[in-house]
Amino acid sequence: MQAVRCYTRSVSAIMALLMILSSIWATPASANIVGTGELLTEQRADIDREALMNMLEREDVKSTLASMGVGEQEVRDRIQSLTPAELADFKQQLAEAPAGEGVVGIIVLFLLVFIITDMLCATDIFPFVNCIR
Amino acid sequence: MPVLWQKSARLPLAAVLGVFFVTLLSGCASQPKWPDSFDSTTLLTEVPFHPQKKYQCGPASLAMMLNAQEVKVTPDELVDRVYLPERKGALQVEMVAAARQYGMLVYPLEPHLESVLEEVQAGHPVLVLQNLRFGWWPQWHFAVVIGYDRAARSLILHSGTEERYRQPASAFMATWNRSDRWARVILPPDRIPATAEPLRFLMAAHDLETTQQTASAKTAYKTASEAWPDQPAALLGLGNIAYQQGKWSEAENYYRTLTEKFPHISAGWNNLAEALARQGRDKEAAAMLEKAGHIKAVQPDPTS
């Protein structure tokens, strides 16, 4: 376990460095104006987030999450903090699913992935998940 | 300690695996259903045909797509732009980039048969990527969908050396599925694809902006702002293009319209401030910046 934690630390250091570098490279064409792409990315994310929220209204999704002991409000809070990239990733998974089938599975799986990363203490967003240290 | 960790992780992991396999199993494909709304035969007769030379389906298909929009170009002229000799083929990204170099807007279709048929019905040929072999041993192939025949449940394609090749929908779907249903419509920027969705179209327009196709990008943003007056990005794009060209007062006008129509979008106020500052109107600029900051304070951006 100790070994895993050491490893996590170095990975997060590398990730932090990557984030800093990418934010330097991603400066828009003109330094001070907001680029068209930035607004589009933001709007796309808003629409995706709303779509994901609407999916939580489905009874089968609700009951599956409830049976796993995950509260709806916590999931909603988590969705609010999803980045555009994470939302795009989710949409991709959903698009690859055969029409009408397995949608619940994908929604629940996607949400679980985030809960599991919380469990492993990569992030600390879900206060109800007890971090195993 | 490691044992404890494994135990507690087993339960959710099992759940994840279970969900995963259910998803996999439900993926077994059935015969494609022909969409009800396309009940006749359509053929775009004006799309010219270029038979492909050895392996060169990419340049041939792209030439057909461009010729259909009255761009005069031959497959041979496109070979240098899109064909990679060592791969014996062209890449999707290069096909798209080459089309943009001719000022065309490249619109990615939703991965549904309906979308392809709807575009064809509207008179727009569709460039598709197929995998004629297997996922583990692919043979990629570009073709142009130019029609469909409901009675025969077939699509009509200019494909390889075959002109107006009729491919049964089941065969088309099988080969198209293996390319993750890659399909593009290539149109002049003043025309809107039949299945266009505002944000997707605007993103395609933005791709023109970032690839220095400024005139085309401007036309595309104008087209979008007329078709979808509720889209702020079209006005922002027009303003940004003017700004990048140093036309400060033109940029100011677009940004001002943006702030009037969409006062809740801080980008409009922020960019308006920049356009004013460039004209030496620092006092006005400061006031606009304050407004931009105020909106950001009211609506915190969840990503930042």
What chain A residue is nearest to B204 in terms of C-alpha separation?
A: A37
Supply the pLDDT for residue B104. 97
Q: A45 and B303: CB-CB below 8 Å?
A: yes
Please answer whether residues B28 and B49 qualify as being in contact, where contact means their C-beta atoms are separated by less than 8 angstroms: no
State the pLDDT confidence band at A24, using cuts at 50, 70 and 90: low
A130 lies in some domain: no
Same domain for A26 and A41, yes or no, is: no
Q: What is the mean pLDDT of residues B20-35?
A: 55
Q: Record the tokens describing residue B41, joined without a space.
A: 């035969």
Confidence of residue B91 (pLDDT cuts 50, 70, 90): confident
Is the ipTM higher than 0.95? The answer is: no
Closest-CA distance of chain B to residue A119, Å: 9
Instruction: Verify that A42 and A60 share a domain, yes or no.
Output: yes
Report the gap between the CA of B91 and the closest CA in chain A (Å): 21
Domain that holds residue A54: 36-119
In a domain, A75, yes or no: yes
Same domain, yes or no: A48 and A16: no
Q: What is the pLDDT of residue B230?
A: 94
Which chain B residue lies closest to A80 (C-alpha atoms)?
B302
- Does a structural domain hold residue A88? yes
Q: How far is A82 from chain B (nearest CA, A)?
A: 7
Specify the pTM: 0.76
**Which pLDDT does position A97 carry in this prediction?**
66
Q: Is residue A62 part of a domain?
A: yes
* Same domain, yes or no: A51 and A110: yes
Residue B300 CA to residue A101 CA, distance in Å, equals 36
Number of domains in chain A: 2
Read off the amino acid at residue B298. V
Query: Do A42 and A80 belong together in one domain?
Result: yes
Distance from CA of B112 to the nearest CA of A (A): 10
Tell whether A76 and A107 lie within a shared domain: yes
- Residues A42, A28, single domain; the answer is no
Task: Annotate B180-199 with b (16+ C-beta within 10 A) or e (fewer).
Answer: ebbbbbbbbbebbbbbbebb
Residues of B with CB under 8 A from a CB of A: 1-2, 4-5, 8-9, 12-13, 15-16, 19-20, 22-23, 26-27, 29, 111, 180, 199, 202-203, 206, 209-210, 232-233, 236-237, 240, 243-244, 265-267, 270-271, 274, 301-303
Tokens of B32: 């494609």
Q: Same structural domain for residues A21 and A75? A: no
| A22 and A50 housed in the same domain | no
Residue A128 covered by a domain: no
Check whether residue A50 and residue A19 sit in a common domain.
no
pLDDT, chain A, mean: 73
Within a domain: A25: yes
Q: Please tell me whether residues A61 and A114 are part of one structural domain.
A: yes
* Alpha-carbon gap, residue B126 to B119, rounded angstroms: 7
- The pLDDT assigned to A83 comes to 80
- CB–CB contact B199 A43 (8 Å): yes
A74 lies in some domain = yes
Q: Which of B82 and A23 is assigned the larger pLDDT?
A: B82
What is the average pLDDT across A92-101?
66
Tens-digit pLDDT profile for residues B254-296? 999 999 999 999 999 999 999 999 999 999 999 999 888 888 7
Other residues' Cβ atoms within 10 Å of the Cβ of residue B77: 12
Q: What is the pLDDT of residue B187?
A: 97
| pLDDT for residue B27 | 41
